Amino acid sequence: MEKTTQIILLTHGTWGKELIVSAEMIIGKISSCSALELMPEDAVADYMKRIEEMMGQSKEVLLLADLYGGTPANIASVYAKKKKNVYALSGLNLDMLIGAEKLREKYSGNELVEAIKKEVIETCKNLNE
């Protein structure tokens, strides 16, 4: 079944692809989800072209970027502000990806973003306590 929200991971280096592999170890195959790496030698314009090609004609896109303030997150934020059907979050981790996969069954758009954010914040715990 085609999911309504396409997920694209935007990362410094190639770890986004590995993150999908790791998430699939836990929850099984994740469809309509891919990763685009930004490498040190990449031009921003070229990276943006790859993102746009991947977004294609999707009804809705959720960009999950790694470092807040880093270039992948900055680009995600520009798309989120300029394109109506694009939503974005920073602070990518395994909890976020698994949460996004689960929550996109139920939510979309800004509601989806808020639901993921709320869930991910809850998962950062002091495990000594």
Q: What is the closest distance, in whole angstroms, from the C-beta atom of residue 16 to another protein in the complex?
A: 16
Sheet holding 33-38, edge to edge: 33-38, 5-12, 60-65, 86-90
Looking at the Cβ atoms of 2 and 41, the one nearer to another protein is 41
Residues 76-79: contacts with CB under 8 Å, at least 24 apart: 76/10, 79/51, 79/55
Looking at the Cβ atoms of 30 and 67, the one nearer to another protein is 67
Binding site for another protein (CB under 8 A): 12, 40-44, 46, 67-71, 74, 77-78, 81-82
Q: What is the closest distance, in whole angstroms, from the C-beta atom of residue 70 to another protein in the complex?
A: 4
